[in-house]
Amino acid sequence: MSHTAHIPSHRKPRRNASKTALRAGVAGGVLSTIAVAGAAGPAQAEPVTQTIEMPTITSGLSTAVAASAQATQQVAQDLQTQAQEDAAAATAAKTAKTAKAEAVRKAEAKKKAEAAAKAKAEAAERASRSTARTTLSATSGSNAGTAASSSSSSNATGSAAAVIAFAKAQLGDAYVLGSTGPSSWDCSSLVQAAFRSVNIDLPRVSQSQSTAGTQVSLSNLQPGDILYWGGAGSAYHVGIYVGGGEFVGAQNSGTGVVQRPLSYDPPSGAVRVL
């Protein structure tokens, strides 16, 4: 017998395999349960934190989208307004162009009408002058029998003769109100120019000329006296007495400067300057 046979073995006794497997299974199940519970716990708590933070992100995004939409709408409105303004400007320009063309057409028509009226008036004036000259010639012929008496009355001398000669030299000239010669006159400018030829300055208008000299009666007229129509100081027409019962004056636009008997248009009074 060995000398060590009485000594107990120090090896641990071998465990039963079935017990070991059972214990391992139980432990594994417990650990699995713990693992599942641990995994499930945090998964339920996490969404709470995310749910609290989301509204802030969503609110900011909504504001930005709204601002972008508003800006887009404003741009569209601006474009529409600009288009309307452009259309209005185009319409206004077209209207102005049409109005201008119409105004030009009317102006041209008026100009043509005025030119036609002027030509007609000139033709009538030429015809009137021709008639006046014919009348003067006929009057001269018919008065041949009384030439002696007429000559004695109309034979002016000196300054009176020069005034009468100037006035007669203008026979046939046109009557134009406000004109002062040399080919058109009004009544007072002709009288003024005739007396200026002998260095006598008279006022320009008939009212003043009717009081420029000594008042004389119509029954005591001398060649070179100034005849007036209307009141002294308020006369509306003047002429020059040339003797022989006749006068020379710028009568009107229809007759021009003519020589007429006093009976043609009896004057109101007379003044003597010479």
pLDDT in tens, the chain (274 residues): 445 555 555 555 555 555 554 455 545 554 444 444 444 444 454 555 555 555 555 556 777 777 788 888 888 888 888 888 888 888 888 888 888 888 888 888 888 877 777 767 666 655 555 554 444 444 444 443 333 334 334 567 899 999 999 999 999 999 999 999 999 999 999 999 999 999 999 999 999 999 999 999 999 999 999 999 999 999 999 999 999 999 999 999 999 999 999 999 999 999 999 9
DSSP H/E element including 118: helix 17-142
Name the residue ranges covered by the structural domains of the chain: 63-142, 152-272
Q: How far apart are CA 221 and CA 165, in angstroms?
A: 18
Q: What's the one-letter identity of residue 170? A: Q
CATH superfamily placement of domain 152-272 = endopeptidase domain like (from Nostoc punctiforme) (3.90.1720.10)
Q: What's the one-letter identity of residue 246? A: E
pTM: 0.47
